[in-house]
Amino acid sequence: MHSPGPELLAIGPWRPEAVTASWTDAHFEPTAELTAAADVELQALKDRSSPSHDGLSARLVDWSHDADGLSMSLQPARWALRLLDGPEHSSLSILCVVRAADGQWLAGRRAQWLASWPGRWALGAGGAVEVDENPVEAMTRELEEEWSTAPEHLTINALVRVPSGMALLVGLATLPEGAEVQSDDEHDEFAWWPADPADWPIEADAPLRGMAAMLLSQ
């Protein structure tokens, strides 16, 4: 049974340049059972016309951290493994939470055709880490791709494992005064939620409120 919330693996915040990643040459070799299960999930995406490109992305192998930085060891792994529940695949994604200069939080509702969390509201930008990419660079890349904007200030705040078994590197981007965003087709609606999460609308579920609480506590 999954735990109700994310497991904290490492806590910051750290400066972006203090977060490093090294890639192994060896690809992750899943078991036959994992491969078959990933094939089933990938076909389900195809059946509902969701993105089903099955390339390579990052798997978290190991990590170490202290007050001065975070170091991660990554390896290439099949993208479709992230569709599975369970700790075995240990796929790595990023979440770049976004706040405006006045403290408001950027929230977007994920389109129904997406492979993961369709129809759910999310904070900021998120996505897979490409092979040989530093996860910090993935944050700014996803922010540009999803919202056509760039941060004035960025911190890397935590490495967590979510109940599905996926590892998630969480960052917080603050936009400059007067910055505007433009959503991509992965979102069918977006809004700026109040600076105080107590004033958030009903669409803000418990995991989103928990994420905000963690960031505000640092």
Nearest Cα to 12, choosing from 171, 184, 168, 210? 171
Residue at 179 is within a domain: yes
pLDDT in tens, 147-200: 999 999 999 999 999 988 899 999 999 999 999 999 998 899 999 999 999 999
**What integer pLDDT is reported at residue 52 of this predicted model?**
64
Domain count, the chain: 1
Integer Cα distance of 121 and 124 in angstroms: 10
Residue at 67 is within a domain: yes
Residue at 2 is within a domain: no
**What integer pLDDT is reported at residue 178 of this predicted model?**
92
**Residue 168: CATH number of its domain:** 3.90.79.10
Residue at 143 is within a domain: yes
| Spans of the chain, pLDDT less than 50 | 1-3
Residue at 141 is within a domain: yes
**What integer pLDDT is reported at residue 5 of this predicted model?**
67
From residue 137, alpha-carbon distances to 4, 93, 95 in Å are 30, 12, 12
Domain containing 163 equals 7-216
HSE value, Cβ hemisphere, 13 Å, CA-based, for 143: 28
pTM score, two decimals? 0.92
Residue at 52 is within a domain: yes
Residue at 1 is within a domain: no
